[in-house]
Amino acid sequence: MKDWAIEARGLTKRFGTGADTVTALDRVSVTIRENEFFTLLGPSGCGKTTLLRLIAGFELPSEGKLLLHGQRIENLPPFRRPVNTVFQSYALFPHLSVLRNVAFGPEMQRRPKAEIEAEARRMLELVRLEGFERRLPRELSGGQQQRVALARALAGRPRVLLLDEPLSALDLKLRREMQIELKRLQHETGITFVFVTHDQEEALTMSDRIAVMSGGRILQIGTPTEIYEQPTSRFVADFIGETNFLDAHCEQVAEGRAQFRLSSGDLVQGLAIPGLMSGSEVTLAVRPERLDLLADGQPGIPATMQDLLYIGNDTVCTVALADGTELQVRVQNRHGAIHASAPGSAVRVGVEPQAVRVVGD
């Protein structure tokens, strides 16, 4: 496909030799579209930085193919790749002024002098740092340094911009501002962004698509809603947001629906996934906010109230099923704090079939 900015096929990266070998990336295949805001999300050590370093060219893959706009690049040195990086540590040149830092990329491309200067100034304007041209990096605040790093990476007019946790050093307020700014910049420049974070909220709010990684593998790729609403694995469901996991036995599958018997003996309806067979043991994932808390006697799964946690906009209730399985139910306080049953009283939990998903391990 032409409009794929990056295409990785079976990308593997091993560090070390012999018994010390670490497989940082394990047969990663992913395609990133042009002008996409693509996020790599995963816990520490899952290989996010390694994948970025392979794309940037700082590491060579042990196996696999890497294509940029359809061209093989896995053996090109970093300075031949139209890919720029915003480093987590910013890595601004301490001996150069802000302007010279930003001008570094265009200078290396041997563009005409006047153009270099104009481009650098335009980029500083884009990140709203006019008037800081002559300062040295150490004379800037963290947020300003971050924006210089961004301007410097953009000034080389890369096809793809790689951002390795660029916001992690900033405080919450600045972080929010920069998130908005990054989206604006991506929109204005039309450059493909590959963004690394381990902040799930950041990933959900900013991305066009997210790849969730774990242990050197990509577990799932999808839009924020797909990742959140339709996690395919227990890890993804657990890593992003809160989730109830229920062991269940699949009783029957028909027309995209399935009927499960929970370990408590209760029956629930859910969505079938391809390959689901009746008679198999499965894990079900249900988001707490997709469950309803009902009065005793109404249709639903009988349960016992255990605990109520009031958190302002919502109340999180912990209920126990017949066999003691605990379940979180998140109730919106739409009419003020709910005066639900006291701990120990019998309640019913309403489950709609769309909220019940089978996840792999």
Partner 1 sequence: MARQSGEGRRRALLIAPSILMIGLFMLVPVGIMAAISFMERGSGGGVNWGSFTTEPYLQFLFERDLDDSLLLNTDYLQIFFRSIWLAALTTALTLAVGLPTALFMALQPERRRNLLIFLVTIPFWTNLLVRNYAWILLLRNNGLIDQVLMGLGLRSEPIGVLYTTFSIAVGLAYTFMPFMVLPIYASLEKLDWRLVEAAYDLGADRWRALRRVVVPLAMPGIAAGCILVFIPCLGAFVTPELLGGGKALMIGNLIQSQFGAARNWPFGAALSMALLAAVLLAMMFYLWRYRRAPGAV
Ligand X SMILES: Nc1ncnc2c1ncn2[C@@H]1O[C@H](COP(=O)(O)OP(=O)(O)OP(=O)(O)O)[C@@H](O)[C@H]1O
Strand partners, 316: 309, 330
> What ranges make up the beta strands (E) of 127-280?
160-164, 192-197, 209-214, 217-222, 244-254, 257-262, 267-271
Q: Is the CB of 228 or the CB of 239 nearer to Mg ion?
A: 239
**What is the rounded CA–CA span in Å between residue 53 and residue 164?**
10
> Which of 25, 38, 42, 49 lies at the binding interface for Mg ion (CB under 5 A)?
49
Q: Which two tokens stand for residue 269?
A: 């309806």
| Residue 90 CA from chain centroid, whole number | 21
| 8 A C-beta contact, residue 108 and residue 79 | yes
**What is the rounded CA–CA span in Å between residue 66 and residue 52?**
12
Query: Which one of partner 1, Mg ion, ligand X, none interacts with residue 47, CB within 5 to 8 A by kind?
Result: ligand X
Q: Is the CB of 106 or the CB of 288 nearer to partner 1?
A: 106
Q: Which stretch binds ligand X (CB under 6 A): 44-52, 101-109, 142-150, 307-315?
A: 44-52
Site for Mg ion contains 85 (CB under 5 A): no
Radius of gyration of the chain (CA): 25
Q: Is the CB of 21 or the CB of 252 nearer to ligand X?
A: 21
| 8 A C-beta contact, residue 106 and residue 155 | yes
Nearest approach, Cβ of residue 140 and partner 1 (Å): 14
> Which of 5, 32, 41, 46 lies at the binding interface for ligand X (CB under 6 A)?
46
> Which of 44, 71, 225, 313 lies at the binding interface for ligand X (CB under 6 A)?
44
Site for ligand X contains 45 (CB under 6 A): yes
> What ranges make up the beta strands (E) of 153-191?
160-164
Scanning residues 293 to 352, which ones bind ligand X (CB under 6 A)? none
Task: With residue 150 as reference, give the H or E element that holds it.
Answer: helix 142-155
> Which of 49, 144, 200, 207 lies at the binding interface for ligand X (CB under 6 A)?
49
Q: Is the CB of 121 or the CB of 357 nearer to partner 1?
A: 121
Q: Which stretch binds ligand X (CB under 6 A): 2-10, 40-48, 107-115, 137-145?
A: 40-48
Q: Which stretch binds Mg ion (CB under 5 A): 41-49, 114-122, 229-237, 273-281?
A: 41-49
| 8 A C-beta contact, residue 56 and residue 213 | no
Query: Which one of Mg ion, partner 1, ligand X, none interacts with residue 136, CB within 5 to 8 A by kind?
Result: partner 1
Cβ-based neighbour number of residue 75 at 10 Å:
10
Q: Which two tokens stand for residue 311?
A: 């958190």
Nearest approach, Cβ of residue 213 and ligand X (Å): 7
Q: Which residues bind ligand X (CB under 6 A)?
A: 15-16, 22, 24, 42, 44-50, 198
